[in-house]
């Protein structure tokens, strides 16, 4: 609909996202109106709809942006899914969850499912892209790469989320000690079966 590279578009979206982030700290998600967002962003309400279908689409967008910033170069450039990469993914996911509940008001948990799904989706994409880059295990030729990625992403997210809810957030070393071998073994089994 609009040209994604137009500087006006970039600025407008930046304004909308920033306004939304501020509002999320002040109000719960359900209480935030499009009017609120438009006012704080100093844009017209009609302009909002030129960029986002509703506030849920906006939430997805900022979630994606925020989570994407968590990925270190090492992970983005990874050529193989090693234990070290697995560690990194577990830690950054846990880290994101901790931040999320610090930033968002606690009564905004109505949005948790949407955010969860988005994060799992991004984790899955990242993992799959690593699988496809390094084909040492010929994973790249395997038609099951997608479901393997989905399982791995879910496992990592599940571990990070559980640790956040029920364990000490300052002992992430224990988290990776448990979760990483589980994930790597699962993949290892798969590799063995494949050959």
- For the beta carbon of residue 24, count every other beta carbon within 10 angstroms: 18
> Is there binding between residue 11 and a second copy (CB under 8 A)?
yes
Question: Using the rule CB under 7 A, which residue among 25, 49, 174, 178 binds DNA?
Answer: 49
The DSSP 8-state label assigned to residue 28 in this structure reads -
Place of tokens 């948990």: 109
Please give the Cα distance from 142 to 28 (Å, whole number): 44
Piece of 4-12, 23-31, 65-73, 145-153 that binds a second copy (CB under 8 A): 4-12
Q: Kindly list the distances between the CA atom of residue 14 and the CA atoms of 17, 43, 54, 151, 168, in Å, as whole numbers in the listed order.
A: 5, 11, 16, 34, 35
Backbone angles phi and psi of 82, in degrees to 5: -90, 170
**Between 14 and 136, whose beta carbon lies closer to a second copy?**
14
**Between 41 and 92, whose beta carbon lies closer to a second copy?**
41
Please give the Cα distance from 135 to 157 (Å, whole number): 24
Site string for DNA, 8-47 (x = CB under 7 A): xx-xx--------------------xxx------xxxxxx
> Is there binding between residue 5 and a second copy (CB under 8 A)?
no
Question: Using the rule CB under 8 A, which residue among 4, 5, 7, 106 binds a second copy?
Answer: 7
For residue 73, the SS3 value is: helix
> Is there binding between residue 42 and a second copy (CB under 8 A)?
yes
> Is there binding between residue 16 and a second copy (CB under 8 A)?
no
Nearest Cα neighbor of 179 from 112, 113, 123 is: 123
Restricting to residues 64-83, name those near a second copy by CB under 8 A.
none
Residue 112 has which token pair?
């948790």
> Is there binding between residue 105 and DNA (CB under 7 A)?
no
Q: Which residues bind a second copy (CB under 8 A)?
A: 7, 10-11, 42-44
Q: Which residues bind DNA (CB under 7 A)?
A: 2-3, 5-9, 11-12, 33-35, 42-47, 49-51, 54-55
């Amino acid at each position: 609909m609009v040209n994604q590279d137009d500087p006006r578009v970039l600025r407008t979206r930046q304004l909308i996202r920033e306004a939304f982030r501020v509002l999320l700290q002040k109000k719960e998600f359900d209480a935030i109106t499009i009017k609120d967002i438009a006012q704080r962003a100093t844009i017209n309400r009609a302009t909002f709809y030129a960029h986002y279908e509703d506030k849920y689409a906006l939430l997805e967008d900022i979630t994606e942006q925020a989570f994407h910033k968590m990925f270190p170069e090492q992970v983005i450039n990874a050529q193989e899914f090693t234990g070290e990469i697995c560690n990194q993914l577990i830690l950054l996911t846990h880290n994101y969850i901790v931040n999320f509940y610090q930033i968002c008001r606690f009564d905004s948990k109505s949005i948790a499912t949407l955010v969860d799904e988005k994060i799992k989706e991004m984790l899955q994409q990242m993992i799959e892209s690593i699988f496809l880059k390094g084909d040492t295990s010929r994973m790249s030729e395997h038609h099951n790469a997608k479901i393997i990625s989905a399982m791995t992403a879910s496992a990592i997210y599940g571990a990070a989320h559980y640790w956040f809810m029920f364990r000490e957030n300052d002992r992430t070393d224990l988290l990776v000690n448990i979760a990483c071998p589980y994930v790597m073994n699962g993949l290892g089994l798969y590799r063995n079966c494949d050959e």
